[in-house]
């Protein structure tokens, strides 16, 4: 990953915030954060010692979380066959709104 942390889960100061406030996050929020960080690590991002400490504490408070569970769920959502057919035309109400906006 690039040296810039602007695209990272850890913006400046977030590791410190997480160390102090991890218990304020819900179980689902902690699990999602851990999954995102696992993805960042898998793509080559190296955590600072402070970030690693925050993640270790977050993991301890999350219980039996497995990042693979979220990764599997996302993969299934992306690869699942759709049961609905795409709509070929916009509903008539949309046509009316667009026509009205053009007249304004």
More confident call, 19 vs 7: 19
- 101 pLDDT band (50/70/90 cuts)? confident
Dump pLDDT digits (tens) for 58-99: 888 777 767 677 778 777 878 888 777 666 666 667 777 787
Dump pLDDT digits (tens) for 18-72: 888 888 888 888 888 888 888 888 888 888 888 888 888 888 877 776 767 777 8
> What's the predicted TM-score (pTM) here?
0.54
The b/e string for 68-103 (b: 16+ C-beta within 10 A; e otherwise) is eebeeeeeeeeeeeeeeeeeeeeeeeeeeeeeeeee
């Amino acid at each position: 990953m690039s040296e810039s942390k602007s695209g990272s889960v850890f913006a400046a100061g977030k590791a410190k915030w997480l160390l102090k406030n991890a218990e304020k996050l819900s179980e689902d929020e902690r699990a999602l954060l851990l999954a995102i960080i696992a993805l960042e690590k898998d793509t080559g991002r190296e955590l600072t010692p402070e970030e690693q400490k925050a993640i270790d504490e977050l993991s301890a408070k999350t219980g039996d979380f497995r990042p693979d569970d979220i990764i599997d769920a996302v993969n299934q959502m992306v690869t699942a066959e759709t049961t609905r057919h795409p709509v070929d035309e916009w509903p008539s109400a949309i046509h009316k709104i667009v026509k009205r906006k053009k007249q304004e």
